[in-house]
Chain A
Amino acid sequence: MTDEVVLAAENVTKHFAASRGRRFGLGKRPPVRAVEDVSLNLTAGRITAMVGESGCGKSTVARMLARIYPPTKGRILLRGKEVTDSRAYRRNVQMVFQDPFASLNPFHKVHYHLARPLKLHGHARTKAEVDEQVAALLERVSLTPVEQFMHKLPHELSGGQRQRVAIARALAAQPVALIADEPVSMLDVSIRLGVLRLLEKLAREENLALLYITHDIASARYFADDILVMYAGQLIEQGPSQRVTDDPAHPYTKLLLSAAPDPDQVDDEEDTTDHGEPPSLISPPSGCRFHPRCPVALPTCSTTAPLFTALADDHHTACHLYDPATVAG
């Protein structure tokens, strides 16, 4: 296993023009600040999970990494370089979408979905080569008998089977990094584990850098090597999944973990604390964006935004509670 950073985001920011909302005079509507100043590294052979509640900007980060949206600010580096040629970039970075019922064109057969990236990226030229590689891809995602699945239309497949086709399509380009945007949230609970295991196996076999985006911190802990926690468009904690889940630093991570059901700790006491609502991304709270919901907020939290503090070599959090300056003062 190499420790090579294959895909990195440096201070990427994404603002969307709001289609609704109050205009100030004749000026532009204020933008939705979907992602603010996020930096992350994806390492070959490691699975990184990005966790956060709905609307916190996880999918936007995924789509920027897959070059579906251009970032408003910041850079995305592939093996340390900015790549301008989008086809070369896409050959290396592929994405699996959340909803397998929407991500496959209803008009095209499975064979077509897998053959296109093979031809596009020049991995197969003749018809025989294409057929052979399509069969191999279906084999790798365990859709057998291969001949039977090759000629099916998406509506003839179940959700899990469709998601396997989508994964095979992403692999067809032979990428070095794979972005999986909530790959199992639309699937039945009973087949989620199978799809996750498949992703894990493929990532290890291919030495892929896998970014697993989820709102389910429990599955992130089970599945990923590292965890990034996002809140309201910003990263607030990152570290090895074991550490982040066993010894969370940021109050929001603690909140997330307490919300996840834990079969080992059956707690009779009903949790009645009101944890509030996620903030508006059009006018986010001042200072630390989490301060209105934070149970341990300090006076400084509402005025100054916290910087990342290292708790250990590989465990960082953005919270005033751990900032030596604040603690000393």
Chain B
Amino acid sequence: MPRSPKIIAGGVILVFFILLALVGPVLVDGDPTKTTDVGLAGPSAAHWLGTTQSGQDVLAQVVYGARVSLGVGLLSALIATVLSIVVGLIGGYAGGVVDEVLSLLTNIFLVLPALPLVIVLAGYLPSRGVTSVAAVIAVTGWAWGARVLRAQTLTLRGRDYVQAAKASGERAWRIIFAEILPVEFPVIATSFLATVLAAILAEAGLSFLGLANLSTVSWGTMLYFAQNNQALLVGAWWWFIPPGLCIALIGAGLGLLNFGIDEIANPRLRTVLPKRRKRFGAGR
């Protein structure tokens, strides 16, 4: 069991938000979109995190927003990871023309500025549902993972156990997915977590710019409405701080978890805490 403080801290944060998204809506009653007469009220017993301009409960919005933000993050990271595994491993293993073509594709997506592309793509989407936003983010975000996995595959391709599998008659796809893929799990895990983080941020950015479906409640759309209604100017800090903090916290959690996995995979990165020395002759 890893006893790394980074993994524990990151894991606790992540589990907290996953629980919030899963069971939060059961505990917090109230419709996040329901408007009431009490607009822009500060935190109180009735509304723990206050209300928005149109009297919606901020706590309910944060809780429901967690579902959308995490959902988009996980879904698009899943799509992006599958894409990067396919492109990176097949290109790295096959070499030659296949690798050239796939590398070119990867490089194109690497140099394309992601946010403007996402904005353009999102602008032309027929529907702006959670799935299509996730797909757009995945399409622009798979290239980093593919690049890393291709490099890793290039080094693994020449290893003796891959040659041995080849010499014992294994087919190429079997070598790629049964011999090379499992060995790359730590790399895939870190790249997956990094993509989740990037996707959550991208979703928040898109929503903040008003390019996602504004009728779904996510942390990003909360910030969008807070901004549009000058929450900062009127001093309604309870409106924009909770979603902003949530995004920052989950980012920190995913980052910590990522560093922790890195340390397991590469022990040289481990932070060494100075051991407290036992004092001899104490009490003299």
A102 adjacent to chain B (CB < 8 Å): yes
Q: Does B160 contact A (CB under 8 A)?
A: yes
Distance between Cα atoms of A79 and B165 in the complex (Å): 24
Is A215 close to B, CB under 8 A?
no
A66 part of interface (Cβ distance < 8 Å): yes
Nearest residue (CB) in B for A96 is B164
**B168 interface neighbour in A99, A107, A117, Cβ under 8 Å:** A117
Distance in Å: Cβ of B147 to nearest Cβ of chain A = 22
Q: How far is the CB of A267 from chain B (nearest CB, A)?
A: 39
Interface size on A, residues (CB 8 A): 29
Among A86-94, A224-232, A309-317, the one that faces the other chain is A86-94
Most buried by A among B161, B168, B183: B168
Q: How far is the CA of A99 from the CA of B160 in the complex (A)?
A: 8
Count of chain B residues with Cβ under 8 Å from any Cβ of A?
Answer: 14
State in angstroms the CA–CA spacing of A99 and B163 once bound together: 12
Query: Roughly how many angstroms separate A255 CA and B164 CA in the complex, as a whole number?
Result: 34
How far apart are the CA atoms of A105 and B161 in the complex, in Å? Answer: 5
* Residues from chain B with Cβ under 8 Å of A99 in the complex: 160
Contacts of B159 in A (CB 8 A): 102
| Given known contacts A105-B179, A105-B183, A106-B183, A97 and B169 CB-to-CB distance under 8 angstroms | no
Give which listed residue, B160, B161, B167, B179, contacts A90 with CB less than 8 A.
Answer: B167
A76 within 8 A of B: no
For window 83-128 of chain B, which residues contact chain A by CB distance below 8 Å?
none
10 closest Cβ contacts across the A-B interface? A102-B160, A90-B169, A103-B160, A107-B182, A105-B161, A117-B168, A87-B169, A103-B164, A66-B167, A97-B160
Chain B residues with CB under 8 Å of chain A are 159-161, 163-170, 179, 182-183
- Excluding A103-B163, A117-B168, 20 further A-B contacts by CB distance (< 8 Å) are A63-B163, A66-B167, A68-B163, A91-B169, A95-B164, A97-B160, A97-B164, A102-B159, A103-B164, A104-B161, A105-B161, A107-B182, A107-B183, A116-B168, A121-B169, A169-B164, A169-B168, A170-B168, A173-B168, A173-B169
